[in-house]
Structure 1
Amino acid sequence: MSNWDYLPDYPLNSDLVKRLKSALDAKDEERMRDLICTEVTPVDAVIELANDDWMKDPSAQLPPGMLLGLWTLEYKRELTTPLCIAAAHGHTACVRHLLGRGADPDASPGGRGALHEACLGAHPACARLLLRHRADPDLLSAEGLAPLHLCRSAASLGCAQALLEHGASVQRAGGTGLDTPLHVAAQHGLDEHARLYLGRGARVNARNSRKETALSAACGATRRPDEQGRCLRLCALLLRHGAAADTRDEDERSPLHKACSHASHGLVRLLLRHGADAGALDYGGASPLARVLQTATCAPQAAPQRTVQALLNHGSPTVWPDAFPKVLKTCASVPAVIEVLFNSYPHLCVSESWKEVIPEEVFQMHKPFYQSLFALAHTPRCLQHLCRCALRRLFGKKCFDLIPLLPLPEPLQNYLLLEPEGVLH
């Protein structure tokens, strides 16, 4: 049933809704509890908290842009029940009181039931109470999401455990994206949730509607710096459980493409160690190396040169020489990227015209490096560099594994593995 088919017991303009909204806005939890536990009748009353259907009010003043595209409007109407409100705010005593009066744990006039709200708010005590009163652990919301799909924060782990203990399906695909709970955990970097689902038999290589696996979803999500470690643990966990490191989504992008788009060098190294193809091309013809070069300037704090270095040490094809000026223009403000890439060629003809693509302020900021680059304009590379390139060509995709085995001092091993020095020789 659509929520437009419901007639609210307490419409938006009713006195009780006005007082309830005031309590919610003021975060006055005691007043809110009193209202829904003592004044609302019947126990499963439908409460209207919002309604932007301007067509009900002929005097409404509409912005001109709205009048130009009426067919694109989506009217929003928020209907709920006392039980949903209590569960959403984690008021266990209130939930217990309402259930004791016979409230239906699965009522969902607004499209989500109380169990959905408890999981979204990460309130495990409320979730367990609802489940003990026979709430459906696999109840689908209007968007086709089960409660397990709404366990989206680290604090919701207890909710996920309770759902699985009461028979929730860990394999259910939901929503327009057909994500499984494991996809959701991967998207939000929830390594403990993923461990729980895998322990309950979640299929690690299940695909969603975009043909993404959980590993692909994890690698494609944007992370804050403080979330990187948890994401790395999550991806390592997925790989240990058999996640395919080189699967492709609907755009033929691999997890490595996505990790490179964020210049996440720890994750890139992890994927490469598990057999990801450093030379893979997506539908647009872009390689993982192209992805990191495109994002290098936007993420200098992520040390994108480390990602470039890892790819080249695992056999990534380098950039076509004629395209190097374009890379120089794009990555000029991150000279360590230019250095690592430049040193992957036995010889690259440096042109004085390249100076034109480097902004003057960038040149001055990194003057020692760019002076060393243009000093090579009419000079062959040194013998040491040519030996480096010969060894790298011999080892190919095994550079990362074989070079550390050579009986050489560590500085020389680092040189062979393209460790940046800050200047070119």
Structure 2
Amino acid sequence: MSNSDYLPDYPLNSDLVKRLKSALDAKDEERVRDLICTEVTPVDAVIELANDDWMKDPSAQLPPGMLLGLWTLEYKRELTTPLCIAAAHGHTACVRYLLGRGADPDASPGGRGALHEACLGGHTACARLLLQHRADPDLLSAEGLAPLHLCRTVASLGCAQALLEHGASLQRVGGKGRDTPLHVAAQRGLDEHARLYLDRGAYVDTRNGCGETALSAACGAARRPDEHGRCLRLCALLLRHGAEADARDEDERSPLHKACGHASHSLARLLLRHGADAGALDYGGASPLARVLQTAACALQAAPQRTVQALLNHGSPTVWPDAFPKVLKTCASVPAVVEVLFNSYPQLCVSESWKEVIPEEAFQMHKPFYQSLFALAHTPRCLQHLCRCALRRLFGKRCFDLIPLLPLPKPLQNYVLLEPRGVLH
């Protein structure tokens, strides 16, 4: 039954709903508890908290965006129950009181049950109470999501543990993306959730609706800087459990493509150490190197030159020489990227015409580097550089592993590994 089929016991314009919404807006937890535990009857009453049925008011002024979608002729209502409200706000005593009065733990007039709400809020005590009162650990929401799919925050780890203790399925796919709980943990960078699921037997390389494994999903999710550590631990965990480092999604993109799309050099190095193909091409013909070059100017804080270095030191083909001016144009504001890439060629014919593709602001900001670049317009590279290229050609894909073993001073090893210096010689 859809939520439009329910007749709310407390419609939106009722006095109780007005007072309840006021208490919720004011975050007055005591008043919310008092209203749902003492004034709402019956115990499983359906409460209407919102209603955007514009058809009920022909004079309503509709926004232009809505006018474009009138063909749906649908509206949405937010329906809920006292138990769902209590669980969503973590009111454990209130949940216990309502269950004691016979509230149905699986009632879901709004499309989600109380267990879904508890998991969304990370309220472990509420989740355990509901499960003890026989809430279905695999109850599907209107969107096809089980409670485990809604364990999306660090605070929800206890909820996930409780669900698994009560028999929740780790292999169930949910929602439009057909994600498993492990996919959800991977997308959110929840390394402890992933560890829990893997220890309980989750399949590490199950594919979702886009053909992604959990590793692919983790590498593709955008991260805040403070989340990078958790994401790296999560990916290392997945790889230790046998995740395929080169698994391709429906667009033939590998986890390495996605890590490079965020210029995540630590993640790229991790994948490369586990055998990821540095030269893999997606359906659009883009390599991981192309992906990091495309994003370099927008990822200055990520030090994209480190990712370029890692790829080239693990055997990535470099850019076709005729395409170098395009790289120069795209990455002009990140001269370290230009330097690392330029030094991967034994000799690249520098043209004065390249100056036209470099924005004047970038040229002036990084003038010493660009002056050193154009000084090579009619000059062969130095012998030291040519020796570097000979060694790199000899070691091929094993540069990263073998060059540190050479009996060379550390600065010279770094030079052979394309460490940028700020100018070209």
- Normalising by structure 2, we get a TM-score of 0.99
Deviations 1:319-375 (A, max 9, x none): 000000000000000000000000000000000111111111211111111110000
Kindly indicate whether the alpha-carbon contact (under 8 Å) linking 2:263 and 2:303 is maintained by their aligned counterparts in 1: yes
Which whole-Å CA distance do the structure 2 matches of 1:424 and 1:74 have between them?
A: 63
Deviations 1:273-302 (A, max 9, x none): 000000000000000000000000000110
> 2: CA distance between counterparts of 1:391 and 1:417?
10
The reply to whether residue 120 of structure 1 matches residue 120 of structure 2 is yes
Tell me the alpha carbon deviations over residues 181-224 of structure 1, each in whole angstroms, 9 at most, x when there is no partner. Answer: 00000000000000000000000000001000000000000000
CA separation of 1:420/1:64 partners in 2, compared to 1, >3 Å: closer, same or farther? closer
Question: What is the DSSP-based 3-state SS (H/G/I as helix, E as strand, rest coil) of the residue aligned with 1:170?
Answer: coil
Aligned residues: 425
Could you tell me whether the CA contact under 8 Å between 2:347 and 2:381 is conserved in 1? Answer: yes
Q: Distance in 2 between matches of 1:263 and 1:358?
A: 22
Q: CA deviation at 1:64?
A: 4.9
Q: What CA RMSD, in Å, does the superposition of the two structures yield over aligned residues?
A: 0.9
Work out the CA distance in 2 between the residues paired with 1:67 and 1:404.
64
2-side partners of 1:49 and 1:315: how far apart?
A: 58
- What's the CA shift string for 1:80-130, capped at 9, x where partnerless? 000000000000000000000000000000000000000000000000000
Shift of 1:69: 3.8
Identify the residue that residue 111 of structure 1 maps to in structure 2: 111
Q: Distance in 1 between matches of 2:205 and 2:73?
A: 38
Distance 2:114 2:410 in 1: 60
1:351 aligned residue: 351
Give the Cα–Cα distance (whole angstroms) in 1 for the partners of residues 381 and 167 of structure 2.
Answer: 67
**Cα gap change, 1:71 to 1:327, in 2 (>3 Å):** same
Once residues 102 and 170 of structure 2 are traced to their aligned partners in structure 1, the CA distance between those partners, rounded to angstroms, is: 29
Counterpart secondary structure, 1:235: helix
Q: Partner residue of 1:416?
A: 416
How far off is 1:56 after superposition?
A: 1.6
* Identity across matched positions, percent: 92
> Hey, what does 1:342 align to over in structure 2?
342
CA distance in 2, matches of 1:309, 1:75: 53
SS of equivalent residue, structure 2 residue 50: strand
SS in 1 for 2:48: strand
Residue of structure 1 in register with 2:176 after alignment: 176
For 1:66 and 1:149, the matched residues in 2 are separated by 30
Shift of 1:59: 2.9
1:278 paired residue number: 278
> Is residue 4–residue 76 contact of structure 2 (8 Å, CA) maintained in 1?
no
Partners of 2:63 and 2:291 in 1: how far apart?
41
Cα 1:212/1:65, change in 2 over 3 Å = closer
Shift of 1:63: 3.4
Whole-Å Cα distance in 2 between the matches of residues 64 and 311 of structure 1? 47
Q: Deviations over 1:44-78 (max 9, x none)?
A: 00000011011122332323553454114652210
Structure 1 partner of 2:222: 222
Distance 1:196-1:310 versus aligned 2 partners, 3 A rule: same
Structure-1 separation of matches of 2:73 and 2:229? 41
Q: Secondary structure at the match of 1:105?
A: coil
Name the CA shift for 1:87/1:291 in 2 (closer, same or farther; >3 Å). Answer: same
Measure, in 2, the Cα distance between the counterparts of 1:177 and 1:137.
20
Q: Structure 2: how far apart are the matches of 1:117 and 1:159? A: 11
> Cα 1:83–1:65, aligned 2, differ >3 Å: closer, same or farther?
closer
Q: Secondary structure at the match of 1:59?
A: coil
The 1:73/1:411 distance shift into structure 2, 3 A limit, reads farther
Residues 216 and 65 (structure 1 numbering): CA distance in 2 closer, same or farther, change over 3 Å?
Answer: closer
In structure 1, the residue corresponding to 2:110 is in which secondary structure?
coil
CA distance in 2, matches of 1:39, 1:69: 39
Unaligned runs of 5+ in 2: none
Structure 1 unmatched runs, 5+: none
User: Within 2, Cα distance between the matches of 1:232 and 1:345?
Assistant: 31
**CA separation in 2, counterparts of 1:123 and 1:267?**
32
Does the C-alpha gap of structure 1 residues 273 and 64 become closer, same or farther in structure 2, counting only changes over 3 Å?
closer
Q: Secondary structure at the match of 1:79?
A: strand
Change (3 A) 1:277 1:118: same
| 1:247–1:65 distance in 2 versus 1, CA, 3 Å | closer
1:302 maps to 302
Evaluate the alpha carbon distance shift between residue 64 and residue 208 of structure 1 in structure 2; reply closer, same or farther with a 3 A threshold: closer
Distance 1:303 1:111, change over 3 A: same
Is residue 393 of structure 1 aligned with residue 389 of structure 2?
no
SS of residue matched to 1:120: helix
Give 1:423 deviation, angstroms: 0.5
Structure 1, residues 228-262: CA drift from partner, whole Å, max 9, x if none?
Answer: 01100000000000000000000000000000000
Alpha-carbon distance in 1 for matches of 2:419, 2:74: 54
Tell me the distance in 1 between the aligned counterparts of 2:260 and 2:74: 37
Q: CA deviation at 1:21?
A: 0.4
Distance 1:326 1:385 in 2: 24
